[in-house]
Amino acid sequence: MFLNKKKNYIWIAILIVFLAYFISIALFDFKIAQLIGSDFKNNWFSIFFDKFGSCLIIFPLFIITNSFVLKMITNYKSNKSIKVIIMILFSFIYVTISILSIFLFEKNDNTNLYITFISVTTFLLMLHVFFINYFSIKLILKEDLEFINKMFYYSCVSLAFLIISWTNVTLFKYIFGRNRPEAVLEEGANFQYVFQINFNRLGKQSTSFPSGHTMSAGQIIIFTYFINLKNPKNNKLIKGILIILVAILTLNVATSRMLMQKHFLTDVSLSMFLVIVYYLVTPIITEKIQKRIIKNG
């Protein structure tokens, strides 16, 4: 009981600190955007992480869909070789569609930077797909139904996390319609404080709050759901390393979005806060729903 109360006090303290931080930066949002300016708008860091942030969703989506396919084929009695072929074929189709989508939707005038971005993204995606596919095939060959069911469960948790967070971001974007710093500073559009509704909207230039790219980068954290090694110490260590890497990546994407004049500091800050909240809350909600389903038969 004491430990639970202590944890609650810690979370309350963290929430108070975040609110104090958020209110402080909200008051100086416009001045911060002015200080950032447009000097770094077209440098390699800004463009690379801006583009990279827009396509990061393909990584968590693969492990989720891969787990669904794995669960589906294990429900059918068929040759293991056929199941392995299905997994490889699915991976090939997913990689092909993902790379084609990047080519079609992420074009940039800077040819060298664009080639670097495509190369890095393709390499990381191939590495990611190879590792997940290798692990999935091992589970098929060993007929490890227990772990397959665990992967399926955490895929459901991850999918719920993605749906809840993206629904929240989309609703906020279209409810508040906040003008982007680019529109405010360079095109003379009106500035809105955080949570202030904009009634004079400019299409895509009025979707600043909160940041979708930052949310997309933070959603990589779902991979921590799938870490389930036999040694609890290794679990904590790997989760800790992964959380640090995700935090660094998210901060880089958030910084690039501000340097590109696409978002205010409050936009990216709220996205990071929402990622943390939904990451912690979604497993609890999913578990309660699962228990209720089991109880009701």
Query: Would the pTM of this model clear 0.85, i.e. be above it?
Result: yes
Contacts of 235 (CB under 8 A, 6+ apart): 227, 228, 229
Q: Mean pLDDT of successive 10-residue segments in the chain (297 residues)?
A: 64 91 95 92 89 92 96 88 95 94 73 84 94 94 91 94 94 94 93 91 90 95 83 81 95 96 96 94 88 75
The pLDDT tens digits for 91-150 are: 999 999 999 988 887 666 667 888 888 889 999 999 999 999 999 999 999 988 989 999
Q: Which of 90, 74, 80 is nearest to 129 (CA)?
A: 90
**Alpha helices (runs of H) in the chain, residue ranges in sequence order:** 2-27, 29-36, 44-55, 58-74, 80-105, 111-142, 145-176, 181-186, 212-218, 232-259, 265-295
